[in-house]
Amino acid sequence: MDEFFSADGYAAGADGYDEMLDGDRLIRPHWQPLMAELGRLGPEDLVRHRQEMMKLLRENGVSYNIYGTPEGQHRPWQLDPVPLPIASDEWAAIEAAMVQRAELLNRILADLYGPRELIRQGLLPLELIYSHNGFLRPCDQIRLPGSHQLVVYAADLARGTDGRIRVIGDRTQVPSGMGYALENRATLSRVLPDLFRSNGVYALESFFQHMRDGLSALAPAGSESPHIVVMTPGPFNETFFEHAYLAAYLGYPLVQGDDLVVRDGHVWLKSLGGLQKVDVILRRVDEDYCDPLELRENSRLGVPGLLEVMRRGNVAIANPLGSGVLENPGLMAFLPGIAEYFGQALALPSIATWWCGQHRECDHVLANLSSMVIKPIHRTAGTRPVFGSRLSRVAQESWRERIKAQPALYVGQEEQHFSTVPSLTNQKLEPRHAVLRSFMVATKDGYAVMPGGLTRCAPGSKDLLVTSQAGGSAKDTWVLAPAHAALPLAAYGPEPASAMTDTPLPSRAADNLFWAGRYAERTEGTIRLMRIIIKGLFDQPGRSNLAYAPGMACLLQALTAMTGTYPSFLADNPPAPEPELRALAFDETRPGSLAHSLRSQLQASYAVRDLWSSDTWRIMDELEEQWIVAKRVNSPDLWQAMDLMDQLLISLSAFGGMAMETMTRGKGWLFLNIGRRLERAVLLLSVLRSAFSLQRPAEIESYLINALLDSSDNLIRNPFQHQPPGLEAFIEMLMFDDNNPRSLIYQFERLHEYIAELPAGCGDEHFHLTKQTMEALRRAHANGLLAATPTDTRLQLDTLLGNLSGMTYRISDALTAAYFRHEQSHPLSQAQAV
Amino acid sequence: MRYRVAHTTVYEYSEPVTLSYNEARLLPRACPNQQCPSAALEIFPQPSDYREREDFFGNRVAYFSIRETHSIFSVTARSEILIQPAEAPWASQETGWETVRDTLWHLRDPQALDARQFALPSQLVAADAALAAYAAPSFQPGRALLHAVHDLMQRIHTEFIFDADFTEIATPLATVLAHRRGVCQDFAHLAIGCLRSQGLAARYVSGYIENLPPPGQQKMVGADVSHAWFSVFVPDFGWMDFDPTNNQVPRDQHITTAWGRDYADVTPLKGVIFGGRHHALKVSVEVERLDELNS
């Protein structure tokens, strides 16, 4: 075997526990087939495969959003090609222990919002629970149907230097990571299918089927085929990728708070087909943000009245509001006692924990601070575990004071060095501390454990803290089947189903698709006009043309009108073209700029991430990547910008084509295309009006016609290849030719056709407006449209274009009013007691 | 004593409200010395959904939702209340406040267990060093709990100025303490904070006070509006109320609506609306004595 993959080349610390090497530095048996397979590949191949994986992950939009970075950047998910195998006998023990812990936490949760017998019996201190911000008093005495209150549960597991596995954290509020685990498997099995050949690895799909069954079983009595939605705080959340991925994979609509409304004691989804009753919510919004009436009143992510519906049992929320009370490290100190109270012994210990709310325990923590990890009992933004061993004397003292001031709010946990796993760093396997997140879901028959999980490694060899926010990479986690076991192998991971099927389309999603279409078109239109302007500016021979100067001025003005970036080139003293054009290309803060439109398009698209096919998403990712690269070029000159625009244009066309090809012609497709058609009409109207409302000398008009023809891909089918058309023919082509996909009439005809297909019952103003617009345009198709007054104003043309432009805004408003109304709720002020 | 109370809250909106969700804690709860034979809400416009329940603290809560588009929203709570004069446990309670503090954590009877939550910090009242310092002169070593609390009440009454224009709903306790100004809600929070800073359990009581000036005396502050005071937990006795705004131990002129850790737990009327833009809020309270009970 290559030295690279042998025990000799791997520098696992002698003092710790390594998952791959045993105490004699021999590869553990359950790692041997894997290491042999990796050895066959060789280091270069492995590094190359990692690059391939990263590309695949990036293209699939797998990201983890990091707070506090500019624009809330999406950080691509880091996946290590070396998986973590778990031997079948060890897994059997872990699985049993996980089920036991889930059942135990479930009983505690039911008790804390029920009789609170554990507090009465002295098994849990009242202060530990009542001081915790996850103990939601409005949720008292509310129960989900069935015996399980804790529906989805995740536990973080780590092995200590003594070789024992311990639970180091419980996730019960909105456990995240299972979507990433699924995507890790999908990616690894696509890039390195050979690895799976010599290892019997359990597939993950069955777990998600359990999840579907478990969620369906929660539906209030009488719902034959329950409606289930995934509720997300939106695209700015750090795990939004996962929300969209899970929604698409499970086949549920992805909704935000304002897609839902409470009415008559039920929760309804505001979908395009009207209100649809929601039976079960898979919640990814933090619980205190879920209902501004009873919980955090300034929340914009929730649904007013939601808690009351849950109280009445008319909607099941998983996990139920209030389940965050279990996400309390202080509980760990009391679990053995509670388990005993229920007649059990805890199979898998938690990490040694002392809750400072008790005198003796507090004294112990204070006295041994340098070997402790200090954690608050509840997670609050910006707090991280504190390693006592890394604190200065002064800092230790100040922590002692902090703990003494509010002892009930802190725990001390023993500082443990977790086991290491081989992790591929620059062409080398190096040991890294690792934590495994294991996932469980409640079904009618008890908890099902995911046969796998999400393994995360610390970023550096000295790093002890393992979190996604801190960086580091993830590993696919293999649960190995016992020898000779027949098991359903999944060579390939699942591809999330592209939605747009018969699941209801939330109106917010329709809104985003509409704007994704509009912005895509606006970006494209802006590029087309800018390219022609830049080309003109650099075309030295062309500048000798007498029409050049007035023609260029007119084009620049058309750009201002089209992008709505007034006053710009329409100012009395217009700016110098080059710097202004650069700003219009790259200044993201300037509405109307190319950068702004592209960013808006990407944002709108990302918000409906679950609705795109993976191929469409790949193009979107390419767009973003091109843009990021472009921004890195320090003040690119206009000529460089041209190159970039050419690339963008290709990607945009691919996006348009792909969206058309891969989306079924459902409501989502309609809104995307309504947006595109409407925007194309808007842009064309503003350019035509800006260029031709005033009659100019023939040579200037001919310059403009040439330029505009050049800017649209009409060039390809330009019937006037050699000789530019006259204005009349040009206007005929761009306004009235219903065979030209870039003509005005073509846009309005399609609009009319698409709008007619929209769900009825939302008013029909938009329908009538579109019809009127189309008819007005047809009526105007007459001689004399281009006649000018003595002052050179083409009154008829100008009036027509102005009216049509007004109509497009009315159509947009009418669509918004009919389909995308998202009013923000706000709290009433309260009377002071005087 | 028998009372009839009418408590009206009116919101006027500058633009129509299309949808509203509300929670009212306006129906008086039962207490050891108080019964509420009748209480009901009159809501305009008519809610499309209405339900009553008890909250975590045993208060009566009405949830309702209005779907009719409206520009004026009003809620009137009409209730009848019977009050027996509260007995103060002065004689039997000479226990020093430190003893009460130290034993509180070991008591496991249901009432004491329930009381322990009121010693913990809450959303609006977290004990801190400044509150502890203010409380200190009242909590001399060895002093009986009730005397210490009575002294604290008196000091707040004399050292703080009642000023209806100084504070608003969100004014932090630190500002009240620094400027020595506020209204009954602030004084109740202040006293609760002081008590919690000493490790004692104290809760916030929301309600009304009878507007009946004794002959030759001025009308009491807090009449004709909603009122608030505080209550302290006395082991082996229960809860005892103190009204720092009026410097008195409530007997039979204080009508309790609800109690909790602080105002946020017992807000009389909360709401979330769609539309409305700006709104103006008006509150009026009438407390009418019907007849004297047992006298």
What's the ipTM? 0.95
Query: Do A243 and A284 contact (CB within 8 A), yes or no?
Result: yes
Is B222 in contact with A126 (Cβ distance < 8 A)? no
Calculate how close chain B gets to A303, using CA atoms only, in Å.
10
pLDDT band per the 50, 70, 90 thresholds, residue A820: confident
Tell me the angle at which helices A594-607 and A614-632 cross, rounded to the nearest 10 degrees: 150
Q: Quote the Cα angle for A241-A247-A253, to 5°.
A: 125
Question: Does residue A68 register a pLDDT over 90?
Answer: no
Q: Which of B8, B11, B10, B9 is CA-nearest to residue B279? A: B11
CB-CB neighbours of B19 under 10 Å? 23
Question: Does residue A531 register a pLDDT over 60?
Answer: yes
Asked if A394 is an interface residue toward chain B (Cβ–Cβ < 8 A), one would say no
Question: Does residue A6 register a pLDDT over 70?
Answer: no
Which H/E stretch holds residue A196? helix A193-197
Is B226 in contact with A834 (Cβ distance < 8 A)? yes
Phi, psi of A19 (to 5 degrees): -70, -30
How far apart are alpha carbons A257 and B74 in whole angstroms? 28
pLDDT band per the 50, 70, 90 thresholds, residue A568: very high
Q: Which residues of B touch A137 (CB under 8 A)?
A: 55-57, 265
Question: Does residue A523 register a pLDDT over 70?
Answer: yes
Among candidates A119, A830, A834 on the partner chain, residue whose Cβ is nearest the Cβ of B164:
A834
Is A833 in contact with B227 (Cβ distance < 8 A)? yes
CA atoms within 13 A on the CB side of B35: 6
Q: What single-letter DSSP state applies at residue A733?
A: I
Is B185 in contact with A834 (Cβ distance < 8 A)? yes
**Residue A495 has what pLDDT?**
44
Chain A 270-309, CB below 8 Å of chain B: which residues?
A: 292-294, 297, 304-305, 308
Closest residue of chain A to B163, computed from CA coordinates: A834
Q: Which of B200, B205, B223 is CA-nearest to residue B263? A: B205
Is B53 in contact with A122 (Cβ distance < 8 A)? no
Question: Does residue A716 register a pLDDT over 60?
Answer: no
Q: Which of A705, A132, A30 is CA-nearest to residue A411? A: A132
Query: Do A329 and A377 contact (CB within 8 A), yes or no?
Result: yes
Q: Which residues of A touch B57 (CB under 8 A)?
A: 137
pLDDT band per the 50, 70, 90 thresholds, residue A75: low
**Residue A494 has what pLDDT?**
45
- Between residues A60 and A769, the one the model is more confident about: A769
Q: Which residues neighbour A97 within 8 Å (Cβ) at sequence distance 6 or greater?
A: A347, A348
CB-CB neighbours of A657 under 10 Å? 12
Question: Does residue A128 register a pLDDT over 90?
Answer: yes
- Between residues A238 and A689, the one the model is more confident about: A689
Is B21 in contact with A262 (Cβ distance < 8 A)? yes
Is A265 in contact with B48 (Cβ distance < 8 A)? no
- Could you tell me the two tokens for A10? 């791997």
Is A131 in contact with B65 (Cβ distance < 8 A)? no
- Bridge pairing between strands A280-283 and A316-318: parallel
How far apart are alpha carbons A793 and A787 in whole angstroms? 8
**Residue A71 has what pLDDT?**
44
Q: Which residues of B touch A827 (CB under 8 A)?
A: 270-273
Is B113 in contact with A831 (Cβ distance < 8 A)? no
Query: Do A154 and A439 contact (CB within 8 A), yes or no?
Result: yes
Q: Which residues of A touch B269 (CB under 8 A)?
A: 828, 830-831
Q: What's the pLDDT tens digit per position in A650-692?
A: 999 898 888 877 777 788 899 999 999 999 999 999 999 999 9
How far apart are alpha carbons A807 and A198 in whole angstroms? 65
Phi, psi of B56 (to 5 degrees): -55, -30
DSSP string over A526-559: HHHHHHHHHHHHH-TGGGGSTTHHHHHHHHHHHH
**Residue A493 has what pLDDT?**
42
Q: Is the bond preceding residue B32 a cis peptide, omega within 30 degrees?
A: no
Query: Do B225 and B257 contact (CB within 8 A), yes or no?
Result: no
**Residue A4 has what pLDDT?**
58
Q: What's the pLDDT tens digit per position in A687-708?
A: 999 999 999 999 999 999 999 9
Is A530 exposed, middle or buried (CB count within 10 Å of its CB: 0-12, 13-18, 19+)?
buried
Q: Tell me the β-bridge partners of A827.
A: B272
Calculate how close chain B gets to A128, using CA atoms only, in Å.
10
Q: Which residues neighbour A711 within 8 Å (Cβ) at sequence distance 6 or greater?
A: A528, A529, A531, A532
Is B263 in contact with A833 (Cβ distance < 8 A)? yes
Long-range Cβ contacts of B50-55 (<8 Å, 24+ apart) = B51/A308, B51/A312, B52/B27, B53/A311, B55/A137, B55/A138, B55/A140, B55/B25, B55/B265
Q: Which residues of A touch B265 (CB under 8 A)?
A: 137
Map residue A150 onto helix, strand or coil.
coil
| Range with lowest mean pLDDT among A238-252, A285-299, A457-471, A769-783 | A457-471
Among candidates B65, B169, B272 on the partner chain, residue whose Cβ is nearest the Cβ of A832:
B169
Mean pLDDT of chain A: 89
Q: Which of A224, A232, A226, A233 is CA-nearest to residue A212? A: A226
Q: Which residues of B touch A312 (CB under 8 A)?
A: 51
Question: Does residue A715 register a pLDDT over 80?
Answer: no
- Give the per-residue SS3 of A581-616: HHHHHHCCCCCCCHHHHHHHHHHHHHHCHHHCCHHH
How far apart are alpha carbons B78 and B244 in whole angstroms? 27
- Could you tell me the two tokens for A531? 């390219």
Q: Which residues of A touch B63 (CB under 8 A)?
A: 305, 308
Is A827 in contact with B18 (Cβ distance < 8 A)? no
**Residue A72 has what pLDDT?**
44
Asked if A378 is an interface residue toward chain B (Cβ–Cβ < 8 A), one would say no
Is A265 in contact with B49 (Cβ distance < 8 A)? yes
**Residue A498 has what pLDDT?**
40
Map residue A722 onto helix, strand or coil.
coil
Instruction: List the pLDDT tens digit at each of the 295 positions of chain B.
Output: 899 999 999 999 999 999 999 999 999 999 999 999 999 999 999 999 999 999 999 999 999 999 999 999 999 999 999 999 977 777 667 889 999 999 888 888 899 999 999 999 999 998 899 999 999 999 999 999 999 999 999 999 999 999 989 988 889 999 999 999 999 999 999 999 999 999 999 999 999 998 766 666 666 655 578 899 999 999 888 999 999 999 999 999 999 999 999 999 999 999 999 999 899 999 999 999 887 654 4
Q: Which residues of A touch B116 (CB under 8 A)?
A: 126-127, 130
**Residue A497 has what pLDDT?**
45
**Residue B89 has what pLDDT?**
76
Q: Mutate which of B49, B50, B190, B269 to disrupt the A interface (most A C-beta within 10 Å)?
A: B49
Could you tell me how many residues make up chain A? 834
Q: Which of A384, A400, A562 is CA-nearest to residue A468? A: A384
How far apart are alpha carbons A490 and A311 in whole angstroms? 41
pLDDT band per the 50, 70, 90 thresholds, residue A69: very low
How far apart are alpha carbons B293 and A301 in whole angstroms? 51
Q: Which residues of B touch A263 (CB under 8 A)?
A: 48-49, 65, 67
* Residue B180 Ramachandran class (φ > 0 left, ψ -120 to 50 alpha, else beta): left
Closest residue of chain A to B63, computed from CA coordinates: A308
Query: Do A676 and A520 contact (CB within 8 A), yes or no?
Result: yes
Among candidates A263, A304, A832 on the partner chain, residue whose Cβ is nearest the Cβ of B272:
A304
Q: Mutate which of B13, B18, B20, B21 to disrupt the A interface (most A C-beta within 10 Å)?
A: B21
Q: Which residues of B touch A305 (CB under 8 A)?
A: 21, 63, 65, 272
Calculate how close chain A gets to B22, using CA atoms only, in Å.
7
Q: Which of A187, A186, A191, A203 is CA-nearest to residue A490? A: A203
Q: Which residues of B touch A128 (CB under 8 A)?
A: none
**Residue A503 CA from chain centroid, whole number:** 19
Q: Which residues neighbour A684 within 8 Å (Cβ) at sequence distance 6 or greater?
A: A734, A742, A744, A747
Q: Which of A91, A64, A92, A90 is CA-nearest to residue A76? A: A64
Q: Which residues of B touch A262 (CB under 8 A)?
A: 21, 65
**Residue A375 has what pLDDT?**
95
Query: Do A262 and A303 contact (CB within 8 A), yes or no?
Result: yes
Query: Do A346 and A400 contact (CB within 8 A), yes or no?
Result: no
| Range with lowest mean pLDDT among A3-12, A126-135, A618-627 | A3-12
Q: Which residues of A touch B11 (CB under 8 A)?
A: 828
| Range with lowest mean pLDDT among A461-475, A507-521, B234-248 | A461-475
Is B18 in contact with A140 (Cβ distance < 8 A)? no
- Could you tell me the two tokens for A84? 């973590």
**Residue A618 has what pLDDT?**
82
Dihedral (Cα; A28, A34, A35, A40), 10-degree rounding: 160
User: Which of A363-377, A576-590, B217-231 is predicted most confidently?
Assistant: A363-377
**Residue A635 has what pLDDT?**
64
pLDDT band per the 50, 70, 90 thresholds, residue A85: very high
| Range with lowest mean pLDDT among A59-68, A577-586, A588-597, B193-202 | A59-68
Query: Do A675 and A515 contact (CB within 8 A), yes or no?
Result: yes
- Give the per-residue SS3 of chain B: CEEEEEEEEEEEEEEEEEEEEEEECCCCCCECCEEEEEEEEEEECCCCEEEEEECCCCCEEEEEEECCCEEEEEEEEEEEEEECCCCCCCCCCCCEHHHHHHHHCCCCCHHHHHHHHHHCCCCCCCCCHHHHHHHHHHCCCCCEHHHHHHHHHHHHHHHCEECCCCCCCCCCHHHHHHHCEECHHHHHHHHHHHHHHCCCCEEEEEEEECCCCCCCCCCCCCCCCCEEEEEEEECCCEEEEEECCCCECCCCCEEEEEEECCHHHHCCEEEEEEECCCEEEEEEEEEEEEECCCC
Query: Do B266 and B59 contact (CB within 8 A), yes or no?
Result: yes
Question: Does residue A67 register a pLDDT over 80?
Answer: no
Place of tokens 């990728």: A241
**Residue A615 has what pLDDT?**
83
Positive or negative CA dihedral for A599, A605, A607, A610? Answer: negative
Q: Which of A357, A460, A462 is CA-nearest to residue A411? A: A357
Task: Give, in order, the Cα–Cα distances in Å from A765 to each of A752, A758, A771, A789.
Answer: 12, 12, 10, 36
Q: Which residues of A touch B272 (CB under 8 A)?
A: 292-293, 297, 304-305, 825-828
How far apart are alpha carbons A483 and B235 in whole angstroms? 66
Asked if A639 is an interface residue toward chain B (Cβ–Cβ < 8 A), one would say no
Q: Which of B286, B272, B292 is CA-nearest to residue B78? A: B286
| Range with lowest mean pLDDT among A422-426, A597-601, B7-11 | A422-426
Among candidates B53, B184, B279 on the partner chain, residue whose Cβ is nearest the Cβ of A834:
B184
Question: Does residue A398 register a pLDDT over 60?
Answer: yes
- Between residues A794 and A634, the one the model is more confident about: A794
